[in-house]
Amino acid sequence: MKPALPGTDLLPWYRQFWPWFLIALPGTVVVAAIGTLVIAQRGADDLVVDEYYRDGLAINRRLEKQQRAQQLGLQAILRLGRDSAHLRLQPPGDYGTLRLDLSHPLQAKSDFSVELSPIAPGEYAAHLPREAGPRWHWALQPADGQWRLDGVVSATDLDHERTP
């Protein structure tokens, strides 16, 4: 057995600190990159539309319906509770059941629709399957689709105090 030189270590490389430290630096970057990729795939925005031509035609039809609502002088006041929606439509009329579409500005999987039933002349109500918050977009139209009203939910439209 040879005598060890002063200042040298007899431990194998895998028991030394510095090789593991140097391996850990790029290893951490690889793990972070994989984590970032997973987050990007799961939380992708729904901002890019594949069917832009078809959606462009739908926008034109929607604009025609909005103009029809403007010609009729329709205005809606929407109040949202935690699990309920209340709508006042002016001028009151016999519109039957109305469809209210609520859409999240960035997460299409959070969008939902409800049927508003008349409870009094110009008054409609429905149960919401889940809560909607500020900056959500809403669209209202009758069953026959003759007109359409659009808006954005503001903080003043939320009525969480009245719902237990």
Indicate which CATH number applies to the domain containing 81.
2.60.40.10
> 1 pLDDT exceeds 70?
no
Q: What is the pTM of this model?
A: 0.63
Do 101 and 32 share a structural domain? no
Which residue reads 């739908």 in tokens? 58
What is the span of the domain harbouring residue 28? 14-40
Q: Residue 157: which pLDDT band, with cuts at 50, 70 and 90?
A: confident
pLDDT (tens digit, 9 = 90+) per residue, 26-72?
999 999 999 999 998 887 666 666 677 777 788 888 888 888 888 98
Q: State whether 97 and 141 are in the same domain.
A: yes
Both tokens of 46, joined, read: 């729904």
pLDDT at 69: 87
Mean pLDDT of 7-22: 84
Give the total number of structural domains in the chain.
2
Please tell me the number of Cα atoms within 13 Å of 151 on its side-chain side: 17
Report yes or no on 132 lying in a domain.
Answer: yes
Question: What CA–CA distance (Å, rounded) separates 146 from 18?
Answer: 74
Do residue 103 and residue 36 come from a single domain? no
Q: What is the rounded end-to-end Cα distance, in angstroms, of the chain?
A: 83
Residue 2 lies in a domain: no
112 within a domain of the structure (yes/no): yes
- The answer on 83 and 31 residing in a single domain is no
